[in-house]
Amino acid sequence: MYLIYSKLIMKTYIYTLLILSSLISCKNQPKLSNNEYLVNVKCEGVFNGLRAYLKTNTNPRSVRITDTAIVANGSFSFKGEISGVEMRVLTIDGVNGQTNIILEPGEIDVTIYKDSIFSSTSVGTYNNNVFDDYKKQYKKQYNVISNLRDSIMKLTNDPIVLNQLNKKMKSQKLLLKNFGFNFINTYPDSDFSLTLLNSAIGQKGFDMDLAKQAYDKINISIKTKTVENQIISNQIKTKLNKVKKNELIKIGEKVPNFSAPNSEGVVLKLNEIKGKVTIIDFWASWCKPCRIENPNLVNLYNEYHVKGLEIISISLDSETQKSAWIKAIEKDQLNWYNISNLKSWNDPIAQLYGVNSIPATFIIDKDGVLIDKRLRGSQLDNKIKELLDF
């Protein structure tokens, strides 16, 4: 009995020591300060001695390494200070690809899969948890489309079912395209949401209303939290304003009239020179893509001018480039109406039409109603043929 009691006392003593040692070890671990980050990375299967990097990703042309570490026994860590929240790219020598993490104060746990680094995870801090949820939900939505695509490939002999699947595919693609905007509404208090929105409005043809709603939804405290967040917020507002200007000229609506002098100083007005179909073309003598596109316009004009096609080219050259503008007209054989206010990007017509890149085309009918815009090459050819080949 005494022996049993002694063993019980000993077990209790050992258990108490284990608890105490655990508590002591926790106390011995230095706490992170308010601005410190600790990134713990597990990378099973990656060779010892390889170097890992954290890099900036805001500008692909000027990537900067902000931290380095050495792989040891399938792990490594980064530790440092950061005042706000910034996206970083994590790469490892000898491992193909890269993964993104959000660097912010706190302890971040990253798991690297060396054979599929894109599938790596990062959790621990709030923004990394949000980012991880975004990746999981996006992948889930993408898999729906992937499965639909496989089903469509297999169904070639059933036009009814195939049509239904195609409609569903179109709907799911739209959901995926707008996924980021809807996701932001779930996390309006996340710095990641601000970064995500800035990226989402970089895609062509994004939904302006959803983007505006998402921006309004993000907490003002996030937009003004740091200098970096303020910069991103201003970038978003600038992009939205540019798109808003472009939407002033809408398909199906009458375009605004304008006037400007030609190279000889004679003022020409749109309403007085438009044809059955008119291409309003914004370009410049210094714009290489414009000059490459000019022969296509020449061919269209030569073929369809007799059927009612007119072209009005508006140059965004400056006052000092007037001679270059005139030479370019002659060299490219632009034998139609050519006008310019010689004010470069400050041209009032370009601003009226929301032009922020060239070449830019607007196709109108005889009543000045916009039929289509931003067409080049074969797309422009096909549209003019469709309108005047009858």
Per-residue model confidence as pLDDT tens digits over 6-53:
443 444 444 443 333 333 333 445 688 888 999 999 999 999 999 999
Is the CATH number 3.30.365.10 carried by domain 259-388?
A: no
Coil vs helix vs strand at 65: strand
The predicted structure's pLDDT at residue 245: 64
Assigned CATH for 36-123? 2.60.40
The predicted structure's pLDDT at residue 156: 65
Q: What pTM did the predictor assign?
A: 0.59
Spans of all domains in the chain: 36-123, 128-246, 259-388
The predicted structure's pLDDT at residue 228: 87
Q: Give the DSSP per-residue string, 290-357.
A: HHHHHHHHHHHHHHHGGGTEEEEEEE--BGGGHHHHHHHHHHHT--SEEE--SBGGG-HHHHHTT--S
Q: How far is it, in rounded angstroms, from Cα 331 to Cα 243? A: 34
The predicted structure's pLDDT at residue 248: 66
The predicted structure's pLDDT at residue 31: 80
The predicted structure's pLDDT at residue 16: 41
Cα-based distances in Å from 384 to 370, 375, 381:
13, 10, 5
The predicted structure's pLDDT at residue 153: 82
Q: Which residues of the chain have pLDDT under 70?
A: 1-30, 58-61, 156, 204-205, 244-248, 390
How long is the chain?
Answer: 390
The predicted structure's pLDDT at residue 33: 81
